Amino acid sequence: MSYLLRIDSSSLGEASVSRQIAQSFLDAWDGEVVHRDLAAAPVPHLTEAGITARVTDPAHRTDAQAAAAATQDALIEEFLGASAYLFTVPMYNLTMPSVFKAWLDQIMVFGRTTNYDGPSPVSGRPTVVISARGGGYGPGAPKHGLDYVVPTLEALLGREDMLGLDVTTVIPELTMAPHAPALAALLPMHEASMADAHRRVRDLAATITRGAAA
């Protein structure tokens, strides 16, 4: 195994539930970890220079294109070098943090990390996505159907015509229950969700580690 690439995107630092669940994964992980904290050091959003650099001969790139290409190259090499992935992507206003979308836009490049006519170079690599959210968005919840984080990520990360990763999603819910009086009655459900999330990621870390060693 080369390394686990851990990408964090929550702005809350140590108070982030997604990061706290990720720590349980790391406690059970046996191997090298490369960590990129997008909240502390955001990658730039994709620009015209970054897009056009992909189809411009390196010898003919402008300075802006060369700089944008260098950023993409570094991120893509880091991504391709991992054999497993741990992404913490909480729900912000029904969708993913913009810093994570910016990272995806930089590393999803046709012919390098994605292919329309065959598997991507990272196809099948194990990936754990931890996505905490303040409320509940599952079947029966008032906001069911308004989760635009997990379905989008599972498509971008998991579809064979995208990155083709082997994605498992862990969703700690109702994280606002300890803080919002209106949600106090849901606190036991939140605590159960947290306990289940910690258990699941520990099991996943052990399983992925064993699979890599086999």
Summarize pLDDT for 66-116 with one digit per residue, the tens: 999 999 999 999 999 999 999 999 999 999 999 999 999 999 999 999 987
Residues comprising the chain, all counted = 214
* Neighbour order of strands in the sheet with 166-170: 33-37, 4-8, 84-88, 126-130, 166-170
Whole-model pTM: value is 0.94
Residue-by-residue DSSP string for 3-58: -EEEEE--TTGGG-HHHHHHHHHHHT--S-EEEEETTTSPPPPP-HHHHHHTTS-G
**Residue for token pair 């994570």:** 100
Q: List the CATH number of the domain containing 138.
A: 3.40.50.360
User: Given this model, what pLDDT does residue 51 score?
Assistant: 97
pLDDT averaged over every residue in the chain: 94
Q: How many domains does the chain have?
A: 1
User: Structural domain of residue 95, as residue ranges?
Assistant: 4-213
